[in-house]
Amino acid sequence: MAEDESIAAEAPSAWAIVVGIDLYSTTHEAMNLRGACNDAVLIYKFLRSSLKIPKSNIRLHLSRDPHTPLTAKDPPSLPPTYWEFFDSLDHIRSKARPGDFVHIHFSGHGNREITQHNDKKSKTDQDERLCFVDNELTDVTFGERLDELAAPPYNLTLLVTLDCCFSGGMTRDGHYSAVRNKPSSQAIALHLRDYNTEPSMSSSSRDASLHKGWLYRDRAYNVIAACQPHEKSMESPDPASGNRVHGALTSTLISQLKHLRDQRSFMTYNVFQGIIESALKGTFGQITRQKPMLIGPRNRLLFLSSVREDASTVASVRTVRSKVMFIDRGSVHSSNVGDIYTVSDPGASLNQIRPSTEEKSHTPATRTPALKIVITSVKEYESEAREYVEPGILPTGNYARLVKSGWLANLVQRSRVAEAQIIQRDGNRSDAAARMVRKEWLSYNDPVAPWRLWFPGDKSRTLQPTCYIHVSPTSIEVHDRNDKPYPNLPLLEFDQNQLISMAEVTRRLMGMLQHLKLYDEVEAIRTPSRLQKTTVPFDLRVTQCKCPFDEPSVLSSWEITVHNTQPGPLFVAVFNLTPLYGVKQLFPSDEGHMQASVMGKPARTIIDISVPDTLHRQYQSDPSFIMQDILRIFITTESTNLRHLELEDITEGWTPASRTGKARRLTDEIQASWWVKDKKVITKSKFSRT
């Protein structure tokens, strides 16, 4: 049986289009790249060897610079023209079956121009474009085609990887590195099927990467772009490939995918993004600060259509220096000194680390358990950690030397413990309920959201209680640190007919306490003390605006605008701390990272507030009803991912309720840095006259 037939039988439902363009011009050498075709061939070989995609299912488009020496013969390829690319899309659309996986990769130049899609964008908006050798593909055209492939009747699972940028220059020095943009020349017309014309470039300014625009809305497909909007996407010699020039993203992407091996099938894009970021910084940190941009379903498994929920406790190792490790969790992420993590090689078992190749001859064949580390110092965006040694146990070896950038770090124990005082309302009559609470607390205590409960008669409590738990023979009620009932928190009642047992109620209590602990962690995040009295480098405005006429459930709308007043970029994210103790990132809505803002271009979004279903009856009938939302605005100097702060609402039915707020899409959204600003939004009863 031929090789292709054998491979096709193993994996008949995976397809790919791979584009690499080095040669853009035969007369303007500055237009050309040296690593884009290397990227494409690297992607092609990975798809063939690791994903087992047959040759007949891959369309490879290459444009090599003849002056760049080859170390190996390229696979057969097609011209990387605009219409050849669309022919490849049409080919896959006609051949693939619903549910098939399609990987589209582009390495080359990018561009930005005033929009040609005035029916979909405002006149001042720009189109983000992929630059083929003869023409440019706009984000609107590309996005609409991807929408079509991801929707019925095709229902394809799509991953798009883009290693290109729109920055404003090319750098060449003794240690070659280049920015993936094109120098200016003259504007070109779009969609002309002319394969022989010399490519020409625009004279407008460039951004560094495909930014949040038409392509990057809430989508059914996944996109991994090389960098954030304000950053440069770089190519440089990669030591791992014999100093062959590659794009920093592509080289890191493939090296980490190969390292993951069988663990790829258990890895989500959300976790993988953190691994790529850390590994890219460890390898290419001397030439670039770019951070990959992930769009689409974050909990989808790599190369699969299925999704799974990720633990919010997963971080990754940024760098390792001797016995010191730095992980991507800092004070802005609510990290604290004394927090304990386990680190593990994502390419091995997620619970194990292995000796390096050099040490195999000196170590047993058995694997060493995952390394425990403890946070020893917390900075704003990262934390320093060292190997954790259990009290009374001698160290067994310096396993920290085995840890590499990109390894996973999983939070297993927080250092800060919340305390609750148990109060028995009816004396001895509530003894049985109090005993059940003590039993369930010992069984269900969570080290990630730790609690210490103090019962009547306990003498050793030293801290002010975080909350009070009032226990009666028929119910349990949770009060705040001032011993006042938490607004909108459900009363936990024992069913007289034992349909809801005392044990079940106390289990719900422990779940509620763990939730409140995590909510308090988010609520306690504030601007660092050293910045509280300094002049902020931005102008923040929160103003009420008109509600959308076509959404009657919206009760108030708030426009948030952040003007960056400093030369460097700032980043912004908006969270809603809801009246049901949920935490939801509203802006940006479909990315993990915050969005970037530069001087002269404000970040704007509109937040709509509505009453959740659980409180709607009270809102309709109780004149004294008051609901408070907190819009928490994070403004930082470093792009970071705060999605792990999210929590579902607490509801009586213990199922997630609809959020009380959502971000309304604008056409000119942008971004901001680490200051924390709050806007309290009060919603009163429908019948309130005050």
Residue range 33-47, pLDDT digits in tens: 888 999 999 999 999
Q: How far is CA 400 from the centre of its chain?
A: 27
Contact of 97 with 108, CB cutoff 8 Å:
no
- Integer angstrom CA distances of residue 243 from 404, 446, 646, 659: 21, 48, 42, 51
pLDDT band at 422 (very low <50, low <70, confident <90, very high): very high
- Integer angstrom CA distances of residue 87 from 56, 147, 223, 334: 15, 17, 21, 50
Assign a CATH topology to domain 418-523.
Rossmann fold (3.40.50)
Tens-digit pLDDT profile for residues 470-514: 999 888 999 999 999 998 888 888 875 555 677 888 888 888 888
pLDDT at 687: 63
pLDDT band at 89 (very low <50, low <70, confident <90, very high): very high
pLDDT above 60 (res 641): yes
pLDDT at 171: 21
pLDDT at 310: 53
Assign a CATH topology to domain 3-295.
Rossmann fold (3.40.50)
> 636-656: buried (b, 16+ CB within 10 Å) or exposed (e) per residue?
bbbbbbbebbebbbbbeeeee
pLDDT above 80 (res 388): yes
CA distance 573 to 590: 11
Contact of 668 with 600, CB cutoff 8 Å:
no
pLDDT at 32: 86
Is the bond into 75 cis (omega within 30 degrees of 0)? no
pLDDT above 90 (res 7): no
Domain pair 314-413 / 418-523, same fold: no
Q: What is the CATH number of domain 314-413?
A: 2.40.10.410
Q: Is the pTM of this model over 0.85?
A: no
Contact of 525 with 496, CB cutoff 8 Å:
no
pLDDT-above-70 percentage for the chain: 77
Tens-digit pLDDT profile for residues 166-201: 422 222 222 344 454 444 433 333 333 333 333 332
Q: Which CATH architecture has domain 534-684?
A: Sandwich (2.60)
pLDDT band at 159 (very low <50, low <70, confident <90, very high): very high
pLDDT above 50 (res 266): yes
Tens-digit pLDDT profile for residues 202-245: 222 112 233 334 444 557 888 898 876 566 778 888 777 777 88
CA distance 13 to 96: 7
What is the torsional sign of CA 144, 148, 150, 152? positive
Residue partners of 311: CB distance under 8 A and separation at least 6:
410
Structure-model confidence comparison of residues 604 and 126, the more confident one: 604
Structure-model confidence comparison of residues 461 and 541, the more confident one: 541
pLDDT band at 679 (very low <50, low <70, confident <90, very high): confident
CA distance 426 to 406: 55
pLDDT band at 394 (very low <50, low <70, confident <90, very high): low
Is the bond into 297 cis (omega within 30 degrees of 0)? no
The whole-number average pLDDT for the span 655-666 is 43
Exposed, middle or buried: residue 112 (CB in 10 Å: 0-12, 13-18, 19+)? buried
Q: Where in the chain are the domains?
A: 3-295, 314-413, 418-523, 534-684
What is the torsional sign of CA 222, 278, 370, 359? positive
Which H or E element spans position 141?
helix 139-150
pLDDT above 90 (res 312): no
The whole-number average pLDDT for the span 7-21 is 73
Q: 19 by DSSP, 3-state: which? A: strand
Residue partners of 400: CB distance under 8 A and separation at least 6:
320, 322, 323, 324, 325, 371, 373, 386, 387
Q: Which of 473, 466, 465 is nearest to 492 (CA)?
A: 473
Tens-digit pLDDT profile for residues 580-620: 998 988 888 765 567 777 777 777 888 888 888 888 888 88
